[in-house]
Structure 1
Amino acid sequence: MPDTIRNQLERDGYVILEDFLSRAECDELLDAGRDLARNLPSKHQRTIFTSVDGEKKQMKEDYFMKSNDKISYFFEDSALDANGDIVVDPKFCLNKIGHALHLLHPIFRCYTYSERVKTVCRELGFRVPCVAQSMYIYKNPGVGGEVIPHQDITYLHTEPIPPIGFWIALEDATIQNSCLWVVRGSHKSGVHRRLVRSPDKDGNIIMVYDKPNPIYPESSFLPLPVCKGTCILIHGNVVHKSAHNRSDMSRHAYTFHIIEKQNNKYSPDNWLQEGENAPFQNVYTTPQIV
């Protein structure tokens, strides 16, 4: 039996697709990401994104919780002082921009709903693949923050069919500038924990974890250094992470998540929800914007 994309994903929990984008296509997305970074929000709208210490703060911020239908800016923890003033080179201050680039930005929309994405979805067996969210990840030199080990299904829970992430390297991703690391085969061990809406409707915390964060042995992780233009498909249950970028090279990436809409439940407890201004659009039927 040939080793198809679907077979690889079911076996390993990830698939590396080299030359998914050309260098020129990557440069177009890089230019779009840099253009967005030149239009930073005002001081009172600056929100830090971190998967380590600041996550509880994000869980009670409308800016984060209502970013499903917007192009929202999230800063690195070390880029802002206590007053919200930028303390690093402004072009290196962002962690990411999300979560509706695929809906609202013509260039990102074009690549998200491209024929090559449709082809991958067909090869994976999706019947009604829909895009739930998208992010431009900066991972800037020196300040690019750590992303702790996690499963994407913790945040975007669907059953019985898990979400699939498309993670596209817009620059070479190396061990030095913080490439992805995965635990091969970990998608077969179930859902380790979930982020759900708090049952305490009167509290100021909107989201809570149902379990403590699991501890994964460092020796179980495999680095995935890839060249510019490579797409890594990430099974929603596979454990993955990336380190702090302490190098002098950035590691920009564009990522989005596909969910199956047919005979599949998208949890009403997920932080991100479909709405009138943020529909989960079908990849097969949504045209590109050129």
Structure 2
Amino acid sequence: MHSKLLDEFNENGYIVIEDFLKPDEVDALYQAGRALCLDAPQSNRKIFSTIKAEDAHSKELYFMESGDKVRYFFEQGAIGDEGQLVVDPMIALNKVGHALHVEHPTFNALTFSNRVREICWQLNFNRPAVCQSMYIFKNSGIGGEVTPHQDSWFLHTEPNSAVGFWFALEDCTLQNGCLQFIKGSHKSGVHRRYQRNPDANASELMVYDRPAPIYPQSSFTPLQVNKGTCIVIHGNVVHKSEPNRSQKSRHAYTFHVIETENNVKYSEDNWLQAPQDKPFPLLFERKA
């Protein structure tokens, strides 16, 4: 990564690296994503949506305990009142997560590649660990909105250290819900937190600590990128994606890296917690 890209990252809160993936890598990841559709559960299907705080997944241990597993989350519009699928299984999923980087060889190979390590090195990580990964489908006509947020709401460290790697496996356009960013918003701190509910008796396992900020639509810059592009995302930069209203899906693979050296503390009230016997896997340790 050139110093120009590092300057861009510090200025805008994200960088776009075109042709990060070779065509055969894009194809392998995309085919792995399609195969996940066939592995999805046939009953007791779980929905994932970001539209409101009381979403079903905030009450679900299935979601909360998915950090070291491969679990399947369906689109709101894919499931009928009786829990039955009302769309083709190949377009029913919202995402699969959150341990593809450990449990699936295709995603593991990219996540722990030297290219990813090099970027983390250039971003001055000393002991980076991968804390979660997701395959995001954003299927045509059904792929739901992702409301404006900062990744640090969910993956909070003190001081903030989360960085997302987001790989386009199909071309991303305004019509199919490309990512949109507020340039420079990472400089304004963390605007809210998504935390484990301190009330052990509440039905909501997770709660937000304050209302959602209002971000003007005019502040967002859409990133229309070709498949194979990698977008590196600062944990504090505000971003979103609109619903997919097109006839083309927008598959993507994404994972998040955090700093784990001694002076950085991973928040104990984050939804995602590593099991005691399975710490977040390291990319490297920088030796003094």
The answer to whether TM tops 0.5 is yes
How far the C-alpha of 1:5 sits from its partner, in A, is 2.9
How far the C-alpha of 1:176 sits from its partner, in A, is 1.3
Task: Give the aligned residue type for 2:153.
Answer: T
Structure 1-normalised TM-score?
A: 0.95
Report whether the alignment pairs 1:33 with 2:40.
no
Question: For residues 277 and 115 of structure 2, what CA distance do their matches in structure 1 show?
Answer: 26
Deviation larger for 30-39 or 71-80: 30-39
How far the C-alpha of 1:154 sits from its partner, in A, is 0.3
Q: Is the 2:91–2:139 contact (alpha carbons within 8 Å) kept by the matching residues of 1? A: yes
How far the C-alpha of 1:4 sits from its partner, in A, is 3.1
Report whether the alignment pairs 1:199 with 2:198.
yes
CA-to-aligned-CA distance 1:80-126 (integer Å, 9 cap, x gap): 01211000111100000000000101111111000100110111111
Q: For 1:86-97, what aligned pairs fall within 5 Å after superposition?
A: 86-97=85-96
How far the C-alpha of 1:202 sits from its partner, in A, is 1.4
Q: For 1:1-290, what aligned pairs fall within 5 Å after superposition?
A: 3-44=3-44, 46-53=45-52, 55-262=54-261, 263-276=263-276, 278-284=278-284
Q: Is the 2:152–2:160 contact (alpha carbons within 8 Å) kept by the matching residues of 1? A: no
Question: For residues 5 and 55 of structure 1, what CA distance do their matches in structure 2 show?
Answer: 38
Question: For residues 109 and 88 of structure 1, what CA distance do their matches in structure 2 show?
Answer: 30
Task: Give the aligned residue type for 2:123.
Answer: L
How far the C-alpha of 1:53 sits from its partner, in A, is 3.7
Query: Unaligned 5+ residue runs, structure 2?
Result: none
SS in 1 for 2:59: coil
How far the C-alpha of 1:218 sits from its partner, in A, is 0.5
Question: For residues 40 and 76 of structure 1, what CA distance do their matches in structure 2 show?
Answer: 13
Q: Is the 1:103–1:278 contact (alpha carbons within 8 Å) kept by the matching residues of 2? A: no
Query: Unaligned 5+ residue runs, structure 1?
Result: 286-290
Question: For residues 177 and 278 of structure 1, what CA distance do their matches in structure 2 show?
Answer: 37
How far the C-alpha of 1:276 sits from its partner, in A, is 3.9
Partner of 1:288: none
How far the C-alpha of 1:219 sits from its partner, in A, is 0.3
| CA RMSD in angstroms, aligned pairs only | 1.3
Deviation larger for 196-205 or 132-141: 196-205
Q: How many residues align?
A: 283
Question: For residues 8 and 237 of structure 2, what CA distance do their matches in structure 1 show?
Answer: 13
CA-to-aligned-CA distance 1:38-75 (integer Å, 9 cap, x gap): 1220212x100000147432111111011011100000
Deviation larger for 152-161 or 51-60: 51-60
CA-to-aligned-CA distance 1:134-163 (integer Å, 9 cap, x gap): 000000000000000000000010121320
Structure 2-normalised TM-score?
A: 0.95
Question: For residues 276 and 82 of structure 1, what CA distance do their matches in structure 2 show?
Answer: 38
Q: Is the 1:68–1:278 contact (alpha carbons within 8 Å) kept by the matching residues of 2? A: no
Question: For residues 118 and 40 of structure 2, what CA distance do their matches in structure 1 show?
Answer: 35
Percent pairwise identity: 55
Q: Residues 87 and 206 (structure 1 numbering): CA distance in 2 closer, same or farther, change over 3 Å?
A: same
SS in 1 for 2:32: helix
CA-to-aligned-CA distance 1:16-38 (integer Å, 9 cap, x gap): 01111011100000011111111
Question: For residues 137 and 70 of structure 2, what CA distance do their matches in structure 1 show?
Answer: 15
Task: Give the aligned residue type for 1:163.
Answer: A
Task: Give the aligned residue type for 1:34.
Answer: R
How far the C-alpha of 1:206 sits from its partner, in A, is 1.1
Question: For residues 275 and 30 of structure 1, what CA distance do their matches in structure 2 show?
Answer: 29
